[in-house]
Amino acid sequence: MNRRWAAVLAAVFSLGLSFGAAAQSKGEGVRPEVGKPLQAAQALVKQRKGREAMAEIAKAEAVPNRTPYENQVIAQMKAAAANAAGDNDAVIRSNEALLATGKVSGRDALPLVQGIAVAYFNKKEYAEAAKWGQRYFKEGGGDASMRSLLLQSYYYGNDCASVSKMLGNVTEESSRRPSEEELQILANCYLRLKDTGGYVSAIEKLVVLYPKASYWTDLLARVQKKPGFSDRLALHVFRLRMETGNLSSTEDYMEMAQLALQAGYPAEAKVVVDKGYEKKALGTGAQADRHQRLRDLVAKSLEAFNKGRAKEEQEALAAKEGNGMNYVFEGKADKGINLMEQGIKKGGLKRPEDAKLSLGYAQLHAGQRARAVQTLRTVQGTDGAADMARLWALHARA
């Protein structure tokens, strides 16, 4: 018996009590010579001693001239004992026999249908498990664990079309939030179907609802491998790696700081270097002197940049992306974002899509999530800028 599903069948143990209530209303009952061994069997079932329970049930079966009701109670206890013993075939036989009597219907029948579905799943007969799982929900079942069983039955039975149908349209805005496991199953199914678009869509749902570094690693790797992805977006890749917990090595921090310097953002380079020292990725080991030289270079570059920027501002030429981004990293987000917006509005930019991408990132960095998403959704192009904007928008929604 798969332990994961053992609890699912616990409801079967209470069938005798429900039948007993119905019997009292109909004037039916169980004679002591039948009831006493069944009570003993029920106690053993609750202790998960299925085989010992079967021995007690056999005593009840040995009583002559049993009534139809007594036979029903014996059958239900057999089903419970079979479950406790981990005998899937016996669970299926016993539960199907009870259903075949026609005397178990409505909600009383649901544990029997549920037990059959779980037994088939344990036997790895996934098509049958799915069939009974479908019947369970069709007849009004609401156990959340059965949804997982049905989904896994489709998956292990290579019925990825049903998995996609069951989960493909689920979003973070849906009334029922999909579990991480469900979305992982959906992603793996798309991989089996070699549906790259579907797989990426599933991973995007995962990074929004369950933002783990590993999911972001996958998405970033796929975006960077797309034909035409520009190397000039490397700094944006590093930024997103840092934001999603995918920046850790010494070389990562060194390269990102150097890219920020090359882009004209010494204030960002300082943030990166300081974070590297904070995380002990920089400033330790045999290369500590090299790290210190980078730190000194960043400080010198920032000083020179600030002097030049002051002169530009005096000449009313401050609406530059570099000025704006540096203000953002210096903690003056409103001023920096305003400068970047002015620059975009003026036009004449060499790469306007890159400028909008940077503005969206600056807004997100400043905590302006709604504005950032709005800006990022305007980024277009086929060189990777639009792809990075989409990833940043996903991160903003996470």
Say what the pLDDT of residue 24 is.
40
Say what the pLDDT of residue 15 is.
43
Q: Which helix (H) or strand (E) covers residue 59, if one does? A: helix 50-61
Q: Which runs of E-coded beta strand occur in the chain?
A: none
What are the structural domains of the chain? 3-141 (1.25.40.10), 231-397 (1.25.40.10)
Say what the pLDDT of residue 324 is.
85
252 and 281 Cβ atoms separated by less than 8 Å: yes
Mean pLDDT, contiguous 10-residue spans, the chain (398 residues): 47 41 53 92 89 91 90 83 84 86 82 91 95 95 90 92 80 70 91 88 92 94 93 96 93 97 95 96 94 97 87 57 84 91 88 94 95 96 95 93
Could you say which DSSP state residue 351 is in?
Answer: -
Say what the pLDDT of residue 278 is.
95
Query: What's the number of CA atoms in the CB half-sphere (13 Å) around residue 232?
Result: 11
Helix (H, G, I), strand (E, B) or coil at 228: coil
Encoded tokens for 294: 């980078």
Say what the pLDDT of residue 11 is.
43
Say what the pLDDT of residue 22 is.
42
CB proximity list for 394: less than 8 A, separation 6 or greater: 204, 207, 208, 219
Hey, what long-range contacts does 95-101 have (CB within 8 A, 24 or more apart)? 95/12, 95/119, 98/72, 101/72, 101/75
Dist. CA 209–CA 203, nearest whole Å? 10
CA-based nearest residue to 91, from 125, 63, 68: 125
CA angle (170, 174, 176) in 5-degree steps: 90
Say what the pLDDT of residue 62 is.
94
CA-based nearest residue to 1, from 156, 118, 148, 125: 118
Could you say which DSSP state residue 173 is in?
Answer: T
Dist. CA 20–CA 27, nearest whole Å? 10
257 and 280 Cβ atoms separated by less than 8 Å: no
154 and 166 Cβ atoms separated by less than 8 Å: yes
Say what the pLDDT of residue 39 is.
92
Say what the pLDDT of residue 21 is.
40
CA angle (313, 333, 338) in 5-degree steps: 55
